[in-house]
Amino acid sequence: MRNRSLPLQTLATAVATVAVLTGASTVLFSLAIAAMFALTFAVPAASQDFGKAYSFAERAPGSQVERTIDTLLPSIVKIHGASGLATISAFASGILVSKDGHILTVDQIMLQPERTRVVLYDGSVHVATLLPADDRLGVRLLKIDPQQVTGELRPLWPGADTSFRTGQFVVSLGNCFRLAEFSEKVSATFGVVVGRANTALRYRMTDVKYDGDIILTDACNNPGHFGGGLFALDGRWLGLNLKLIDSKETNTMLSAAIPLTDLLPYLEEHVRGKPRSAAAPKGDPAWLGAVLFEQAGRQSPPAYVERVLPDSPAAKLGLRNDDLIVRLDDFSIRTCRELREMLGKFRPGQQVKVTWKRGTEVMTGEVELGKEPSR
């Protein structure tokens, strides 16, 4: 019936023919209606409306999960960045957080100025500018020009309740494996919150900079899915999908997200211009007094001691030049950065057990951490 352009006369002939056979006026009437429809559909669609994602023959969303996903999908964007190295995946997801075109995503190497493109749910492609990243969180805001967007921008903003419970059902949205292109819908996966964990877990340091608690979930997180969102079934936004956390030691992988509460101050500052409340440091950081050997150009140098400062806790321990610090209490240390971050969790005066390697020998000692002397 659709897209037929029949001259009305033809149909009139048909009507006459059938009427001869049956003499039924109802047939005449129904055919007349058919003719009207034929004409309605014969009008070519003149306007090129790219304002909504295509669907083939989808029904209206019914269940709560379907409704939630349907509502949230327009806020999830596809991000394409600089590529070149096989090890760098050049695609990710992001979440639209303002009508001004702010997009929240996980910070990564592929996000380069001029080379970062954002694809909205309507299939339109926009070059994004980069706003300052938050190194502690490992997230970054992108911005597109809202003037260039013809469709409606449907941003998400953290709600009053961003709490989550272990065992609660969640839906995770993101463009995993870059399966969706242009206006195609990004992927949705379903799961439960498995628990909350601390990122003192060890994983590839280049992947995730975030050092707070994370939401663990069994809703699958694959390459490209990160930067997308984790949502409760009622549509509440709970977190920002992280890259897959991968442990080479145990050969396990975890899907995780940063809880939204931790992201709010960053969003408030860069999207709404509210200065972050200067969080007062909870006291001075702990000081060991070992100067580390940070080789230039190496991404994650191991924590080799280059020099031990006199009268420092390190000196009291008996650390020497070329010792390799491998453990603080029960936490293994693989890089200089990990050692610095771990020390940041201690306060002066705390006792700490240090394990180090000297040649082939492993040595252990316990010492009270100090405070860095003012210069």
Partner 1 sequence: MIIALTLAATAWQDPLATTQASEARRVAVVARCAPAVCSVMAMDAPGGGSGVIIDPAGFVLTNYHVVGEPDKDWKLLVPAPGAAELATWKQKNPNAGEAEERAFAEAWQTAWRTEHAPAGTRQYKNKKVGLPDGQLYEGVVLGIDPGSDLAVLRLLPKREGQTWPACPLGDSDALLVGETVFAMGNPFLLATDFTPTVTFGIVSGTHRYQEGGGNRMLVYPDCIQVDAPVNPGNSGGPLFNEAGEVVGINGRISIGDRGRVNVGVGFAIASNQIANFLGDLLAGRHTEHGTLDMSAWFMGSRNGNEPVQQRRGVFVQQLFKDSVAALAGIGLGDEILRFDGTEVRSANQLATLVGVLPAGAWVTVWHRPALADGGFGDERRVTLRLSALDTGSSFDTGEDAWLASRADRRLATAGLLARWTVADEPAGAVAWSAINPKEVPHRAVADGERLLLDRGDVVLVREGAGRGFAREGDRVRELTADEAERLRREWTCNPMLWQPAVARTRLRDALLVGGVHVHGAPAYRFALPGEGDCEAWFFADGSPAGCAFRDPLRKARVERHVRSDQLRFVVDGKLEPGWSAGKRTIGTADEAWFRRQP
Residues 102-121 that bind partner 1 (CB under 8 A): 119
- The tokens for 21 are 């056979």
Question: Does 360 help bind partner 1 (rule: CB under 8 A)?
Answer: no
Interface with partner 1 includes 54 (CB under 8 A)?
yes
Kindly tell me which residue out of 39, 82, 109, 127 binds partner 1, with binding defined by CB under 8 A: 127
Choose which of 109, 220, 291, 363 interacts with partner 1 (CB under 8 A). Answer: 220
The yes or no reply on residue 39 touching partner 1 (CB under 8 A) is no
Work out whether the CA dihedral 79, 82, 84, 87 comes out positive or negative: negative
**Considering the rule CB under 8 A, would residue 248 count as an interface residue with partner 1?**
no
Q: Does 368 bind partner 1 (CB under 8 A)?
A: no
For residue 222, how many other CB atoms are within 10 A of its CB? 17
Whole-number Å distance between alpha carbons of 318 and 218: 46
Q: For the CA atoms of the chain, what is the radius of gyration?
A: 30
Our finding on whether 324 is near partner 1 (CB under 8 A) is no
Cβ proximity to partner 1: between 139 and 171 the closer is 171
Instruction: By CB under 8 A, tell whether 223 contacts partner 1.
Output: yes
| Residues between 138 and 157 with contacts to partner 1, criterion CB under 8 A | 144-145, 148, 150
3-state secondary structure of 189: strand
Residue 43 CB, nearest approach to partner 1 (Å) = 12
207 touches partner 1 (CB under 8 A): no
Q: Based on the shown chain and the rule CB under 8 A, indicate whether residue 273 belongs to the binding site for partner 1.
A: no
Stretch that binds partner 1, among 184-192, 268-276, 358-366, 367-375 (CB under 8 A): 184-192
Map tokens 């002397």 to a residue.
373
Total Cβ atoms within 10 A of residue 248:
9
**Binding of residue 33 to partner 1 (CB under 8 A):** no
Q: Is residue 190 within 8 Å of residue 169, measured between CB atoms?
A: yes
Minimum distance from residue 94 beta carbon to partner 1 (Å): 16
Nearer to partner 1, 26 or 360 (CB): 26
Minimum distance, C-beta of residue 123 to partner 1, in the bound complex (Å): 6
Closest distance to partner 1 from the beta carbon of 220 (Å): 2
Q: Where are the beta strands (DSSP E) in 135-249?
A: 139-143, 169-174, 187-198, 213-217, 229-232, 237-241, 245-247
Tell me the window of 21-29, 287-295, 340-348, 367-375 that interacts with partner 1 (CB under 8 A). 21-29
- Among residues 98, 189, 199, 312, the one that binds partner 1 under rule CB under 8 A: 189
Q: How far apart are CA 372 and CA 303, in angstroms?
A: 19
Q: At 131, is the secondary structure helix, strand, or coil?
A: strand
Residue closer to partner 1, measured from CB, 229 or 289: 229
Q: Is 29 left (phi over 0), alpha (psi -120 to 50) or beta?
A: alpha
Among 148, 150, 156, 142, residue whose Cα is nearest residue 81: 142
**Least CB distance to partner 1 at residue 217 (A):** 11
341 three-class SS: helix
DSSP secondary structure letter of residue 304: B
Q: Whole-number minimum distance, CB 31 to partner 1, in Å?
A: 6
Among 182, 197, 309, 363, binds partner 1 (CB under 8 A): 182
* Short-list 120, 111, 112, CA closest to 78: 120
- Residue 38 binds to partner 1 (criterion: CB under 8 A): yes
Nearer to partner 1, 148 or 321 (CB): 148
Instruction: Using the minimum distance from each CB to partner 1, give the nearer residue, 252 or 277.
Output: 252
> Of 126 and 327, which has the nearer Cβ to partner 1?
126
Considering only CA atoms, which of 218, 257, 263, 262 is closest in space to residue 241? Answer: 257
Asked if 130 touches partner 1 (CB under 8 A), the answer is no
Q: Residue 113: which residues within 8 A CB-CB, separation 6 or more?
A: 129, 130
Place of tokens 């709970």: 238
277 contributes a contact to partner 1 by CB under 8 A: no
Nearer to partner 1 (CB atom), residue 170 or residue 333? 170
The residue type at 70: D
Residues in contact with 147: Cβ distance below 8 Å, sequence separation at least 6, in sequence order: none
